[in-house]
């Protein structure tokens, strides 16, 4: 298991290293509050789908401005949680934020959570998510929860 984890971490680091590609150079940054390597790796898992989508976007739109699409943000959050849960089977790790969003996913509110917490204004509410009932649920079940993103991918020139 340790070898698999190490291989995963090395692979992700190579994917995210500041190397130039035909669609630009990419940098991954973490919030300095992350001091556990397993939690940092979970956030690497979050960033991987975003980096892949961003790369494809800039191949087609070299001068465009990338905004994470809803489906990619959903995939990234699920990847974060899935990696964390796999690591938790073999290692004693704990992260309150990830534990919170696992509870949100288990309650079937993850779609609304992502839509209302991370929408920069360009996502369309095609699924007719009800913000009032979602906000009520969050206030009753997750009071004080603060939506976070602790890893960021950016294209640099």
pLDDT in tens, 24-55: 689 999 999 999 999 999 999 999 999 999 99
| Percent of the chain clearing pLDDT 70 (strictly above) | 85
pLDDT for residue 150 is more than 70: yes
Mean predicted confidence (pLDDT) in 117-138? 96
pTM of the model: 0.86
Mean predicted confidence (pLDDT) in 62-74? 96
Please, what is the end-to-end C-alpha distance for the chain in angstroms? 37
Mean predicted confidence (pLDDT) in 87-93? 94
Residue 9 pLDDT: 53
Residue 2 pLDDT: 56
What is the domain extent for residue 35? 2-156
Number of compact structural domains in the chain: 1
pLDDT for residue 104 is more than 90: yes
Residue 146 pLDDT: 97
Residue 18 pLDDT: 42
| pLDDT band, residue 20 (cuts 50/70/90) | very low
Residue 79 pLDDT: 98
Residue 60 pLDDT: 95
| Percent of the chain clearing pLDDT 90 (strictly above) | 82
Going edge to edge, which strands form the sheet with 24-30? 20-21, 24-30, 151-156
């Amino acid at each position: 298991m340790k070898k698999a984890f190490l291989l995963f971490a090395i692979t992700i680091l190579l994917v995210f290293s500041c190397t130039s590609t035909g669609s630009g150079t990419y940098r991954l940054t973490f919030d300095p509050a992350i001091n556990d390597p397993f939690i940092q790796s979970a956030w690497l898992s979050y960033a991987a789908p975003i980096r892949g989508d961003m790369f494809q976007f800039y191949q087609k739109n070299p001068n465009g401005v990338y905004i994470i699409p809803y489906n990619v943000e959903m995939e990234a959050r699920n990847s974060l949680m899935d990696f964390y849960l796999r690591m938790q089977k073999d290692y004693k790790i704990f992260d309150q934020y990830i534990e919170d969003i696992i509870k949100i996913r288990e309650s079937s509110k993850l779609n609304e959570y992502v839509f209302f917490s991370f929408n920069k204004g360009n996502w369309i509410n095609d699924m007719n998510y009800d913000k009032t009932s979602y906000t009520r649920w969050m206030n009753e079940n997750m009071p004080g929860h603060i939506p976070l993103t602790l890893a960021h991918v950016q294209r640099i020139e």
